[in-house]
C-alpha cells in the first residue's frame, strides 16, 4: 500500500489535476510540443545566441535587465545591427536602472543602425524616488515568434564564460523552440507597449508549430499582481516533491513562507539541497541569507556554497524531472517587486541534464554544517540581522 502511494505521489507533476491547480495558482501558461536545449554555462549560451541573431529572418525581440558596453556587449550590438541592416525588425527593451552604467551612446548607436531601443522605467520625479523600485529583471530573446533564449544571463563579459574565475561567473540558460514561445512574445509586447513603444506592424502571437514533445509552463511575475505568482511557482513545486528538491540561487532571502515550504518537504522525507554562493556580487544579500539558514540546517537540509566564482544561476529541480529556469531569485524582490519570467519544464531528458549539471555544481561546492554556522561571531550575527531587516529593499 505504501509503495503504491509513493508511486502515485511521485507522478504528481504529470497528473491533469496538478496542472490545473498549478495553472490556477500561478497563472501559468501551459504548452506542449516544444524542443529544449540547456546551456550549462554562459560560454555555451552566447555563441548560440549570436548565431540565432545571425539566422533570424523577420523579428528579434529582446528584454534584458543589464547590457554592458564591454566586449560581449559590443559583439551583441554588432549582431543586432547586422540583423537590422538585412531587414529584420529588432526591438530592444532594457532596464534603465540595470543599464545605468552603460553609456547612452551605446543605445544611440544601435538606434542609428536601425534597432529600436526603449528604456524600461526611465526616471520620472513626479513620484519622487518610487520609480527606483520598479525593475524589469527579465532576460529573454524571441526570434521570429518561434524560438527563444532565456535564463539568468545578462549581456556582459562576466556572464559569458564557464564559471572558472571571479571575472567569468557561473550562470545557466536555455533555448525553447515551439508553441511556448508565443507566451514570451506576448510578455514582450505587453512590456514594450506598457513603456510607450509603438507598433508598426500587425502583432503575430499565433503559437509556432510543434518542434518536440517537451511540456513547458511559463510563469511571469510583477508588482502589478495582487499575489506573487513567482513565489507560488516555487512553493507548489516544493510541495509536490516526493523525493528531492535541488535549488541553485545567487540571492537567498526567501521570507517565512518559502522557509516553511522547505521545512515541510524535509519533514516528509524529501532530500533538500541548496547551492548558494560563497562569493557574492552583492555581499549584503549574502549576509541577509545567513539569517534564514539555521532552521533549515537543523531540519537536515543540505546547504552548499559554490566555490571559485560568483554564482548567478537560478535553477530548481524537483524529483530529478521537473526543472525551473529563469530570471527569478529566491528573494522578496523577485517575488513582489521585479518583473520576472520563469520556465517550468516537465521533461525527463531535460531533467536528467539539469540533474547532471546540479551534481557538477555540488562537486565544486563546500557543504556548510550546523556546527560551523553556529560558530559565527556576534559581529557576524548582528550584521546578518541588520541585513535581513533590510531584505524587503534589497
Catalytic residue among 314, 331, 347, 361: 314
CB burial class (10 A; 0-12, 13-18, 19+) of residue 120? buried
Catalytic residue among 287, 312, 346, 347: 312
Going along the chain, which residue ranges are E strands? 29-39, 59-64, 89-95, 116-120, 135-136, 140-143, 147-151, 173-177, 214-221, 244-248, 252-253, 271-279, 302-310, 315-318, 322-326, 330-331, 338-346, 365-368
User: What is the C-alpha to C-alpha distance for residues 151 and 156, in angstroms, rounded to an integer?
Assistant: 14
- Catalytic residue check, 7: no
Catalytic residue among 95, 134, 136, 144: 144
User: What is the C-alpha to C-alpha distance for residues 371 and 226, in angstroms, rounded to an integer?
Assistant: 40
User: What is the C-alpha to C-alpha distance for residues 181 and 216, in angstroms, rounded to an integer?
Assistant: 10
User: What is the C-alpha to C-alpha distance for residues 113 and 279, in angstroms, rounded to an integer?
Assistant: 39
Cell of 370: 550546523
User: What is the C-alpha to C-alpha distance for residues 361 and 348, in angstroms, rounded to an integer?
Assistant: 20
- Catalytic residue check, 312: yes
Helix axes 378-389, 283-290, angle to 10 degrees: 100
Whole-number Cα distances in Å, 313 to 220, 255, 351: 18, 20, 16
Residue whose C-alpha is closest to residue 308's, from 187, 165, 208: 165
- Catalytic residue check, 109: no
Catalytic residue among 134, 137, 286, 290: 137
- Catalytic residue check, 171: no
Catalytic residue among 61, 139, 286, 290: 139
Catalytic residue among 95, 171, 177, 319: 319
Residue whose entry in the numeric block shows the C-alpha cell 552566447? 46
Q: Which residues contact 141 (CB under 8 A, 6 or more apart)?
A: 49, 52, 53, 60, 61, 62, 63, 148, 149, 150
Q: Which residues are catalytic?
A: 137, 139, 144, 312, 314, 319
Amino acid at each position: 500500500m505504501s509503495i503504491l502511494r509513493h508511486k502515485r505521489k511521485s507522478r504528481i507533476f504529470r497528473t491533469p489535476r496538478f496542472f490545473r491547480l498549478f495553472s490556477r495558482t500561478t497563472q501559468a501558461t501551459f504548452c506542449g510540443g516544444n524542443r529544449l536545449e540547456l546551456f550549462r554555462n554562459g560560454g555555451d549560451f552566447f555563441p548560440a545566441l549570436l548565431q540565432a541573431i545571425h539566422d533570424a529572418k523577420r523579428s528579434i525581440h529582446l528584454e534584458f535587465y543589464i547590457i554592458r558596453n564591454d566586449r560581449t556587449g559590443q559583439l551583441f550590438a554588432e549582431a543586432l545591427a547586422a540583423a537590422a541592416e538585412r531587414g529584420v525588425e529588432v526591438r530592444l527593451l532594457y532596464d534603465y536602472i540595470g543599464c545605468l552604467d552603460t553609456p547612452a551612446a551605446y543605445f544611440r548607436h544601435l538606434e542609428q543602425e536601425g534597432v529600436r531601443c526603449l528604456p524600461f522605467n526611465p526616471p520620472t520625479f513626479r513620484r519622487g524616488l518610487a520609480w527606483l523600485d520598479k525593475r524589469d529583471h527579465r532576460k529573454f530573446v524571441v526570434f521570429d515568434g518561434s524560438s527563444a533564449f532565456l535564463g539568468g544571463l545578462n549581456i556582459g563579459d562576466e556572464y559569458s564564460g564557464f564559471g572558472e574565475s571571479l571575472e567569468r561567473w557561473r550562470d545557466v540558460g536555455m533555448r525553447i523552440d515551439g508553441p511556448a514561445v508565443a507566451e514570451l512574445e506576448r510578455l514582450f509586447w505587453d512590456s514594450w507597449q506598457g513603456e510607450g513603444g509603438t507598433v508598426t506592424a500587425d502583432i503575430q502571437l499565433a503559437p509556432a508549430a510543434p518542434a518536440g514533445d517537451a511540456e513547458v509552463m511559463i510563469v511571469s511575475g510583477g508588482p502589478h499582481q495582487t499575489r506573487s505568482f513567482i513565489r507560488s511557482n516555487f512553493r507548489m513545486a516544493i510541495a509536490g516533491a516526493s523525493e528531492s528538491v535541488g535549488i541553485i540561487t545567487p540571492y537567498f532571502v526567501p521570507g517565512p513562507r518559502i522557509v516553511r515550504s522547505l521545512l515541510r518537504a524535509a519533514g516528509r522525507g524529501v532530500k533538500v539541497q541548496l547551492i548558494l554562493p560563497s562569493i557574492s556580487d552583492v555581499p549584503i544579500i549574502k549576509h541577509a541569507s545567513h539569517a534564514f539558514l539555521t532552521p533549515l540546517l537543523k531540519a537536515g537540509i543540505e546547504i552548499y556554497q559554490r566555490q571559485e566564482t560568483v554564482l548567478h544561476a537560478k535553477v530548481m529541480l524537483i524529483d530529478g524531472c521537473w526543472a525551473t529556469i529563469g530570471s527569478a531569485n529566491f528573494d522578496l524582490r523577485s517575488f513582489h517587486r521585479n518583473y520576472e519570467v520563469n520556465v517550468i519544464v516537465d521533461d525527463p531528458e531535460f531533467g536528467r541534464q539539469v540533474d547532471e549539471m546540479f551534481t557538477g555544481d555540488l562537486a565544486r561546492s563546500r557543504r556548510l554544517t550546523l556546527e560551523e554556522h553556529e560558530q559565527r561571531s556576534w559581529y557576524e550575527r548582528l550584521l546578518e540581522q541588520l541585513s535581513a531587516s533590510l531584505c524587503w529593499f534589497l
